[in-house]
A and B are shown apart, each in its own frame.
Chain A
Amino acid sequence: MTAINANRPIVEIENVSKRYRVGTLGPTSLAEAFRAMLPGRKQPAVPNDFGVRNGDIPGTFWSLRDVNFSVQRGEIVGLIGKNGAGKSTLLKLISRITEPTKGRITLRGRIASLLEVGTGFHPELTGRENIFLNGAILGMKRWEIQAKFDEIVEFAEVGSFLDTPVKRYSSGMFVRLAFAVAAHLEPEILLIDEVLAVGDAGFQQKCLGKMGEVASEGGRTIFFVSHNLTAIRALCTRAVLIEDGTAKLSGSPEEVITQYLAATAPTNDGEAGRVVYKTDRHSTDELLLTSLTLRNSRNEICAIFDANEPIHIELRYRVTEPLRGARMLMSLYTTEGDLVLTMTDHELHKPTLERGEYCTRFVVPGGLLNRRAYSFCASSDAPGIRYLVSGGKHLPFSIVGAGNHLSQFPERWPGTVCPRVTTTVELNP
């Protein structure tokens, strides 16, 4: 058995799909359940069988669809993709927090997840008590924790605070202690999601180092979800691109990252500054998105804007059935997939949208964005009720010009935004 297992992939993901409910479909209180039982008020049940096609049941969506890939022992796999692409859902399934709707995942080794550091820490308990509690929650045996205790304490640099309740810890100490426990888990498969976003830079470096060490020495397998493409490039032996709930591409980090950036960066397909939606994909029974257009102050369709120029966004859509509580959402992303801001026209709509052609216009003021590439993505939902439609395709655009950063040097200025900041300099104030 040992010999067989050693040669087989440590993680096999076969046709895995996960469906979630959106909004409040289905009874969540007894009152609703009773109401649903009244004749003529049947709620559409969500069946357990899988003879249903994609898109299928109203009020549900597939977070993952037929994901297939396998991972060998010792691989460090970076999962990349935009927010909402399904990366975190995949980790949740692998870590057994929830079940797939269909498909199967086979794990051939002990697994530990680090989906959020400090899981199960109790504020009233001391650092020492929490090390044991957290270790046990993450699946360690008591003797394992005892054996590693000194190492964990040393790594976390909490020394003299060991017998202080963690509620008195600074957030930095808290994170260090939490990561230290998880880093000493020694599972065969380790799942990490965005941990490196916390802690100071020095500690992040230490974590990255520890991950590399854990992976190379122990021959351990690591799944790493991050928007930090630099970290993925530096640490991972393989990258998998998750897009729209499927594993689009798997290969060397360099190759996948290049593809990912190319897919999200401004391209010249179609008309720059304008998307005409294909009606079949971006519609529901009541609503269909028709087009998204960017214009400059001279009313020209455009995809390149000066940093100080306002961006006029024009979203056209058609309401085919009266639609209650709907609103349009416009999200602005960086090319790395980070959400910069979201706009909505919610307050301007009547409670029910009558049939007809609509156009929602947003103006993003000049002097806000940095000199770099961004994209817009339109969507619509009825908040608290259901998700309606996504524009899917991002509309890329770039910000050019001198910018507002007041740097004399013509450099690439860091940051997702670069608004006008009042700056003064005084000598001997």
Chain B
Amino acid sequence: MAEPSTQPEPAGNYEIIIEPSKGWLRINWREMWEYRDLLSILIRRDFLAKYKQTVLGPIWFVLQPLLTALVMSIAFNKIGGIDTDGIPSLIFNLCALLSWSYFSQNITTGAATFTANSHLFGKVYFPRLVVPAAAAISNLFALGLQLVVFLAFFAWYAATGSNVHIGFSALLAIPLFVITGIFSLGISLLLAASTAKYRDLAHLTPVLLQLWMFASPVFYPMKKITENHTFGWLAWANPMAAVVEATRDVLLKGGQMSPELPAMLCASTLAAVLALVLGVIAFNRAERTVVDSV
């Protein structure tokens, strides 16, 4: 057994002052750092608990987007006749679903932070922000698994001579996933804070996500939006639109982008950072007394 005495003692002489808090942004970064072990354990828990409960285990992380891609390519592209730039529709959808699934997973888990953990939050203190942050990170595992499936399909399509290309530009997918993570964490924190106050928002979240998915170029190319006279503005108004389109450009088209896409991506990045800042502020305001009302 290890000797505890040789370990560094944590600073024992600090003062914690508990009083009604004022001000907008009072985040104790030092404390967040002290709870980093909790963060890593929660990440593990989220992942383990999710697959231990099911028969097929981690297969679900893969099966769900795969089935969605299949259903949508039949509905949108085969029956609906939407053209996918000469790319086979299944891989076209599967690719866009990489960033979209990660986005919607984060929102679904993050928005329920206060309601799903009310028992825990009512019993013990720790920085509440650890919980949605851990969820956003553990959802990366699902993204990783999905990526493996995507690459398998990609290999098959490339081998059979389909119009798909990949290159070093594929590495740009990493910053795209980071933007997705930041943006979805921000939105989910805003939703968590509002759901704590207005419980009925919990019913709105899935509907909102579905509408958002159809408003984003997941199952159709971006140009369907930009060329549309009525809804062209959606391409700029929806930060996820550029991210989803760009994911496809870097993973399927070898990095070719439409000329306005880089500018759109900059706007998306700004929106993501703004959403995160607002989300953290709202979440911190809500967390102080949320146990009194939830």
- Chain A residues with a Cβ under 8 A of chain B: 1-2, 5, 20-21, 27-31, 33, 48, 92-111, 113, 115-116, 119-120, 122, 124-125, 129, 132-133, 136-144, 146-150, 165, 188
Contacts and interface: CB of A to CB of B under 8 A. Distances in A.
B1 interface: yes
A129 B48 contact: yes
Given A113-B123, A132-B41, A101 B200 contact: no
Contact of B125 (A97, A142, A148): A97
Contact of A115 (B10, B41, B123, B200): B123
Contacts of B197: 27-28
B45 interface: yes
Interface string B199-230: 11100000000000000000000000000000
B124 A137 contact: yes
A121 to B, nearest CB: 10
Contacts of A147: 1-4, 7
A142 B14 CA distance: 20
Interface in B243-294: 288-289, 291-293
A105 B289 contact: no
Contact of B12 (A48, A110, A146): A110
B53 to A, nearest CB: 6
Interface of B: 1-4, 7, 10, 12-21, 35, 37-38, 40-42, 44-45, 48-49, 52-53, 120-126, 197-201, 288-289, 291-293
Contact of A120 (B7, B17, B124, B201): B124
Given A95-B124, A108-B14, 14 more contacts: A27-B197, A28-B197, A30-B200, A97-B124, A97-B291, A98-B289, A98-B292, A99-B19, A104-B19, A110-B12, A115-B123, A136-B37, A136-B41, A188-B12
Contacts of B16: 96, 106-108, 111
A20 B292 contact: yes
A124 B53 contact: yes
A147 to B, nearest CB: 4
Contact of B198 (A30, A92, A132): A30
Most chain B beta-carbon neighbours within 10 Å: one of A93, A96, A115, A137? A137
Contacts of B199: 28-29
Contacts, number: 136
Contacts of B15: 5, 106-108
B45 A138 contact: no
Interface of A (DSSP majority class): mixed
A122 B4 CA distance: 27
B198 A33 contact: yes
Contacts of B293: 21, 28
Contacts of A133: 41-42, 45
A106 to B, nearest CB: 5
A93 B45 CA distance: 28
Contacts of A102: 20
Contacts of B122: 97
Contacts of B49: 122, 124-125
A31 B45 contact: no
A1 B38 CA distance: 29
A48 B288 CA distance: 13
Contacts of A150: 1
Given A116-B123, A147-B1, A28 B45 contact: no
A137 B13 contact: no
Contacts of A142: 37, 40-41
8 contacts: A48-B20, A94-B18, A97-B123, A99-B19, A113-B124, A136-B42, A137-B120, A140-B37
Most buried by A among B15, B16, B42: B16
A127 to B, nearest CB: 14
A281 to B, nearest CB: 26
Contacts of A109: 12
Given A115-B123, A147-B4, A104 B17 contact: yes
Given A105-B18, A141-B37, A125 B48 contact: yes
Contact of B21 (A95, A99, A141): A99
A105 B17 contact: yes
A189 to B, nearest CB: 10
Nearest to B122: A97
B38 to A, nearest CB: 4
Contacts of B12: 109-110, 188
